[in-house]
């Protein structure tokens, strides 16, 4: 008998993140592909909106959002630990968590919908209706896929920005490859939080989709190998980098995250403050506040300012706030080295929290 049920999809970015983590933790779970019946009878009545993955706990509780899934499993199965012990490593891992969840989604969505569109329609259909004919699967998948396809322009993906998105992604692959020449995982000899965050976009979209998978395997076989190991749940043993250090080979990735994503986060913060001025206490927070300018490899565009990006960053800011003076000084040196000094004073005007599976102002 298994203790947990993971409801998701092989093609889902965040299901891949959760799947690799659960395998690494060694917990007994069954994965079920979400079809119309599961969505209608289980997810929508409880969660209130169509979203995956969902983890059903042994007591029947449904947990949504991969960070909450991982925190619940970590509380019940604390070894091996998902989170680094050192405060600076925890801070850096949360910065990379934000980058992976909220920024690497841009190349993930670009390559899926501009390189793999016809394939993914059939894949969606096979997942939702495994007994249908290929033609029926394609039509069903295309119907479902239109919602996701509609997110592409909101993420600033267009003819003007695509060259910059691709150049930035290929540079990221090179930086990650160089890191993997030295360390098997992001912070050392075993995976931790940032690895599973990276796994989401890098596995389900950028490795598993055939055209983008070919690009990864050709340009960055080290990254493809890491993806295979991490989705398989390998790396249970081994230590993270000692003395709470952030490997030097991670600094180029952190610099890229700061240079590209921090300006969008700063605009999001300004727009959040404007919205907050007229918000009721404890109000549900909109999924986006507006748009922000962004630049990747010299190409500029506009992207939605997602409230969840601020919520994810809040976890990193919390780690920074908890540090003692000695750790804070080391964290400040890291921020200076990656161009992130603005994060030293980055403050949300109101805390955010998740209630009833949605983002709200904290009460």
Please choose, from the candidates 179, 218, 197, the residue with its C-alpha nearest in 3D space to the C-alpha of residue 104: 197
Residue carrying structure tokens 């610099």? 255
Q: Could you give the CA distance from residue 134 to residue 114 in angstroms, rounded to a whole number?
A: 22
**What CATH number should be reported for the domain holding residue 122?**
1.20.1050.10
Residue 130 has pLDDT above 60, yes or no: yes
**In a shared domain, residues 239 and 264:** no
Please choose, from the candidates 227, 239, 210, 211, the residue with its C-alpha nearest in 3D space to the C-alpha of residue 176: 227
Of 214, 244, 274, the position where a domain reaches its end is 244
CB 189 within 8 A of CB 239: yes
In this prediction the pTM is: 0.96
Quote the pLDDT of residue 36: 86
**In a shared domain, residues 277 and 335:** yes
Name the pLDDT band for 1 (thresholds 50, 70, 90).
very low
pLDDT digits (tens, 9 = 90+) for 83-96: 999 999 999 999 99
Structural domain includes residue 61: yes
CB 53 within 8 A of CB 6: yes
Residue 147 has pLDDT above 90, yes or no: no
Domains: count for the chain: 3
What does pLDDT average to over the chain?
96
Structural domain includes residue 82: no
- State which residues form the domain around 187: 88-244
**In a shared domain, residues 218 and 262:** no
The mean pLDDT value for 256-271 works out to 98
Lowest mean pLDDT among 30-39, 67-76, 122-131, 146-155: 122-131
Quote the pLDDT of residue 2: 64
Structural domain includes residue 303: yes
The mean pLDDT value for 175-180 works out to 98
**In a shared domain, residues 70 and 133:** no
Token duo for residue 130: 């495994």
CB 59 within 8 A of CB 9: no
Strands, sheet with 62-64, edge to edge from the N-terminal-most edge strand = 29-33, 4-8, 54-56, 62-64
Of 212, 244, 276, the position where a domain reaches its end is 244
Q: Could you tell me the maximum CA-CA distance found in the chain, to the nearest angstrom?
A: 63
**In a shared domain, residues 38 and 96:** no
């Amino acid at each position: 008998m298994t203790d947990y049920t993971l409801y998701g999809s092989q093609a889902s970015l965040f299901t891949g993140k959760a799947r690799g983590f659960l395998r690494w933790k060694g917990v007994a779970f069954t994965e079920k592909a979400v079809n119309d019946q599961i969505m209608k009878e289980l997810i929508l009545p409880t969660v209130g909106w169509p979203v995956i993955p969902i983890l059903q706990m042994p007591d029947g509780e449904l947990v949504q959002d991969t960070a909450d899934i991982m925190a619940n499993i970590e509380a019940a199965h604390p070894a091996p630990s998902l989170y680094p012990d050192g405060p600076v490593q925890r801070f850096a891992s949360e910065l990379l968590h934000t980058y992976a969840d909220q920024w690497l989604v841009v190349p993930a969505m670009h390559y899926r919908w501009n390189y793999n569109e016809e394939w993914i329609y059939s894949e969606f259909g096979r997942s939702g209706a495994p007994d249908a004919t290929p033609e029926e699967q394609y039509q069903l998948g295309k119907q479902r896929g239109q919602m996701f396809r509609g997110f592409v322009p909101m993420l600033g993906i267009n003819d003007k920005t695509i060259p910059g998105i691709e150049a930035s992604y290929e540079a990221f692959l090179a930086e990650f490859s160089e890191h993997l020449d030295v360390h098997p995982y992001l912070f050392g000899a075993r995976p931790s939080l940032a690895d599973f965050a990276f796994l989401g976009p890098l596995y389900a979209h950028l490795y598993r989709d055939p055209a983008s998978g070919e690009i990864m395997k050709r340009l960055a076989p080290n990254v493809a190998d890491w993806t295979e190991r991490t989705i398989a749940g390998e790396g249970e043993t081994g230590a993270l980098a000692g003395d709470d250090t952030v490997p030097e080979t991670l600094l180029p990735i952190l610099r890229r995250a700061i240079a590209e994503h921090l300006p969008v986060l700063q605009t999001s913060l300004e727009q959040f403050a404007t919205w907050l001025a007229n918000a009721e206490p404890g109000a549900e927070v909109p999924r986006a506040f507006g748009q922000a300018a962004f630049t990747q490899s010299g190409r500029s565009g506009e992207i939605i300012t997602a409230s969840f990006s601020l919520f994810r960053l809040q976890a990193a800011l919390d780690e920074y706030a908890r540090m003692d003076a000695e750790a804070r000084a080391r964290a400040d040196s890291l921020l200076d080295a990656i161009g992130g000094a603005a994060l030293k004073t980055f403050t949300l005007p109101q805390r955010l929290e998740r209630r009833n599976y949605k983002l709200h102002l904290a009460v």
